[in-house]
Structure 1
Amino acid sequence: MCTTLDKCHRLGSTFGRQFRLSGLYLQKDTGETTHQKQCYCSLTATKELSILHRNRKGLLRLENKLPRCSLRQYSCIVPINLSQNGVNQRKILIQNTHPSICAKTRQVGVLSDPENKGKKQVGINFDTIGSWNNRISMPILIKESIQTGRLIPKIPLEKIGKASLLGRRNRNEDRYAIQQLSSEYLYFGIFDGHNGDVAAEYLQSRMCDSLSFWLSREPDQSVVLQQSFIDLNNSLARHLTSYWLDDEQFSTGSTATVCLLQHSTELTIGHVGDTRALLCRGGKAIALTQDHHPDDVEEKRRIESCGGVITPNSLGTPKVNGNLSMTRCIGNLPLKKYGVTEHPEIHRKKLDHGRDAFLALVSDGVSFVLSDQEVVDITCSCTDPQEAANRVTDQALQFGSEDNTTCVIIPLGAWGKYSTDTGTIRYSFGRTFVPLRDS
């Protein structure tokens, strides 16, 4: 029997070397000699194997410096009995019948990224130590990183992409807000007004103060968002009664999707209406909000229990009392008694900067013609968040959106990690026939 032991390149991500075993082994049951398939073992494993190899004079000898090999990686452990110089020896060889289980050693200094679908990255793979590998320079939050034992990036406000286009409307009723409330909290919001822009403008200017007020008194972010939405709805009602009572904008209202980010990891979202928050994790879209439309079973039940009626318009879109296409919003005072509430739906999410590439906030002018995954794919094809926000809003108009289009892209630790080679998604002629929808 002849077995060779070849040393391969040293890997930067392991504590030892990998070895390749090749040669012949003896089947235990049949006694036949068969070519052994290539297999790989690592010095970092837990058990030693007895290996024979040919020395320079062509004689078989037992290798004293035995590699340590992880047995669970191989499909077959073959014990054999050898007789050499009248001495019976029992040896063990390994057979890998599934070579794909153990990948061959890659080039020195080039590591594979298991979360990036097999793409190679030159240099250190920070994911192996619990951090991220980013394409945007981000400072590190030292205190939070020490407390958690993981590197936590600070989201730079100047890197956030934002774009809002008029579209085919007379005025832009969309608003967005980006602000740092304290060293601990960041605030992102998107608001889509209807029946005028008074409510959206009011929320854009007052939401920050309301959040800061409640954060100083309440440690629970869910309660902070709940109270802020209620307070702003009440103060907006007083504002409209005082200044817009005899105006058509007295019935104005607005959606609101508000994100509180604590220590760059704890994300809490308060949401009413049909604006959306999306998270890109592993290159896939994760919806963080649910549209409050009248065709939702629970929302419809609440409206009808308060005396409201769900009726479709001429385009078949269900509306509350034939007027409003959503069941939750801030404002719309005449419809409050019919179950249109300002109480937000709260969602919490812990961010993982090793897998999460960005957070996206979009208005219904975007989500009406683009799916969540399409927004993620377009953003992943861009080099920076500002380019991504511009491209998403432009693409929505190209696909036939009649509404204002607004997009905010907040880069996270894995920004650029799931980048694609494609530019904008393929144009679909059918999307030019998207039916008109009034707010």
Structure 2
Amino acid sequence: MKMSAMFIVSSHGPRLASNTGWQFCRSGLICHQGKNIAGETTLQKQCYCSLIKNHDCDELLLKRRIRFTKSKDGFVEHSRLFTSSVPNLYQNINKTRGFLSRKNCPSAVCTPVRQMGILSDPENKGKKQVGINFDTIGSWNNRINMPILMKESIQTGKLIPQIPLEKIGTASLLGRRNRNEDRYTIKKLSAEYLYFGIFDGHNGDFASAFLESHMSDSLSFWLSREPDESVVLRQSFIDLNNILARHLSTYCLDDEQFSSGSTATVCLLQHSTELTIGHVGDTRALLCRGGKAIALTQDHNPDNMEEKRRIESCGAAITPNSLGTPKVNGKLSMTRCIGNLPLKKYGVTEHPEIQIKKLDHGRDAFLALVSDGVSFVLSDQEVVDITCSCSDPKEAASRITDQALQFGSEDNTTCVIIPLGAWGKYSTDTGTIQYSFGRTFVPIRDS
């Protein structure tokens, strides 16, 4: 189908609404269908631009010394019109009007005329979107309606969304274990703070269930006394480990629960922008920024050289099991955790590793928390790609845990997906996603 549009250049005029697809310069106005912005027919020069090569139009433009340039984002076969009618170029208003060439027109004055109703977005990898993506002015274009935090938005000069707790996706599967030792928590601590946590128990679920029940109370206690979120997380980890140790020493000394322990990955989100993470063990926190996975935690395993030196300096031995996995004294596959009282004297500490990250809702799509049952078979980028292929966080959490079991995970699998401002912005294609070892992710699509 041939589409053509007639343009008229007037020397002065206000700007046109950008969502119509028209462009304007400081002193010139590109009008449509031979009328100015007041709707009056003008007698100025008329130029024609079409999506199909129009030799008559090209000849007319060449006669008037209008220079065209090739498009750089998909319209290679078609010309773009660069216009300007700077007043001082025309001393006499009755003289025939002309156009400046691209070479002589400043970038602040000349702007390209794009296909009507479709704009490009470099952060979306050059893909075209119907309508306008507002990322360039600090907002976002996604598929989840999020309320705006007005006070924070005014202070930062950018639109800051309020994370809707009901939109957060969660899933936890038993897998091939007798019981599920994974736990997770999502809670609003105050008008200022949101709390997300994931815990993976070992030697029973007593420690992980304890952290699920009491971590929020400890965080609230320290937040009322300490302004530094890093200190709040560190003190909460230490306090809960001590409380758990006293309980186990008093009531479970001769019980198998005495050696129970748990990993902990805890996130404090302040004003939807300041993210502080406290972490022990091998559960993980991932951030999707620009469609790429950013690891916010590091697994505390005996094969980490710094962790290994600390463990060996306390008199422990790092020995591998039959599968080659290194373990502390042949018993524990991590060097930091809450609980595991028999190994505390060998350097297995509850002191968390702290990470601070400032969120950018124009680029950050979601925050993911996963247990080692997921990360054992799926890489960080695979978790991000699967999530980007889903329509909502709840579907993504279920898909990730299912895929982990499909790829051979024998552990409990747990996943928490927290949508951020750019949710849905980096959606993958509707086809399958190919990865190494011949694995294929097949997104589930509506019929």
For the criterion TM > 0.5, the same-fold answer is yes
Q: CA deviation at 1:314?
A: 0.9
- Asked if the contact 2:67–2:102 (Cα under 8 Å) also holds between the matched residues in 1, the reply is no
Say if 2:202 is the partner of 1:194.
Answer: yes
The answer to whether 1:409 aligns with 2:417 is yes
* Matching residue of 2:376: 368
Unaligned runs of 5+ in 1: 27-34, 56-60, 74-101, 432-439
**Secondary structure class of the residue paired with 2:323:** coil
**Aligned counterpart, 2:36:** none
Correspondence 1:38 to 2:77: no
Query: What CA distance in whole angstroms lies between the structure 1 residues aligned with 2:127 and 2:113?
Result: 15
Give 1:119 deviation, angstroms. 2.0
Mapped pair 1:289 → 2:300: no
1:273 aligns with 2:304: no
Superposed, which structure 2 residues align to 1:291-370 within 5 Å? 291-370=299-378
Q: Tell whether the 8 Å contact from 1:266 to 1:351 is kept in structure 2 after alignment.
A: yes
Tell me if structure 2 keeps the 8 A contact 1:165–1:406. Answer: yes
Deviation per CA, 1:214-265, whole angstroms, max 9, x where unpaired?
Answer: 0000111001001000001000101111221111110010000000000000
Q: Which residue of 2 aligns with 1:12?
A: 18
Match of 1:217 among 196, 201, 225: 225
* Residues 12, 108 of structure 1: 8 Å contact kept: no
SS at match of 1:357: strand
How has the CA–CA distance of structure 1 residues 424 and 225 changed in structure 2, closer, same or farther, with 3 Å as cutoff? farther
SS in structure 2 of the partner of residue 115 of structure 1: helix
Aligned mate of 1:123, from 114, 131, 134: 131
* Residue 179 of structure 1: how far off its partner (Å): 0.1
Higher mean C-alpha displacement, 120-129 vs 222-231: 120-129
Residues 1:37 and 1:140: Cα distance change in structure 2 (over 3 Å): closer
The DSSP-based 3-state class of the residue aligned with 1:133 is: coil
Q: Is the 8 A contact 2:295 2:380 kept in 1?
A: yes
Contact map agreement 2:81 2:113 (CA 8 A) in 1:
no
Greater mean alpha carbon deviation, residues 399-408 or residues 307-316: 307-316
Q: Which amino acid aligns with 2:206?
A: V
For residues 301 and 432 of structure 2, the distance between their equivalents in structure 1, rounded to whole angstroms, comes to 29
Query: Which residue number in structure 1 is paired with residue 62 of structure 2?
Result: 23
Which residue in the other structure is 1:145 paired with? 153
Moved more, 158-167 or 36-45: 36-45
- Choose from 271, 276, 282 the match for 1:263: 271
1:178 aligns with 2:192: no
- 2 CA distance for matches of 1:308 and 1:212? 36
Structural mapping, 1:427-438, within 5 Å: none
Aligned CA distance change for structure 1 residues 36 and 153 (closer, same or farther; 3 Å): closer
CA distance in 1, matches of 2:63, 2:320: 77
User: Does 1:399 pair with 2:404?
Assistant: no
Which stretch shifts more, 210-219 or 116-125? 116-125
Aligned partners of 1:165, 1:302: CA distance in 2, in Å?
34
SS in 2 for 1:23: helix
Give 2:201's aligned amino acid: G
Q: Deviations over 1:262-316 (max 9, x none)?
A: 0000000000000000000111111000000100010001001111111111111
Amino acid at match of 2:172: S
Structure with the higher fraction of residues in strand conformation? 1
For 1:43 and 1:333, how far apart are their aligned partners in 2?
A: 76
Structure 1 residues 360-408: Cα deviation after superposition (integer angstroms, max 9, x where no partner): 0000000000000000010001001000000000000000000000000
Equivalent AA in structure 2 for residue 390 of structure 1: S
Cα-Cα RMSD: 3.2
Normalised to the residue count of structure 1, the TM-score between the two structures is: 0.79
CA contact (8 A) 1:133 1:414 kept: yes
Counterpart Cα distance in 1 of 2:361 and 2:263: 29
CA deviation after TM superposition for structure 1 residue 426, in Å: 4.8
Counterpart of 2:356, as a letter, is R
Partner residue of 2:37?
A: none
Identity %: 77
Deviation at 1:425, TM superposition (A): 4.2
8 Å CA contact 1:303–1:340 kept in 2: the answer is yes
Which runs of structure 2 are paired with 1:369-384 in the superposition (5 Å)? 369-384=377-392
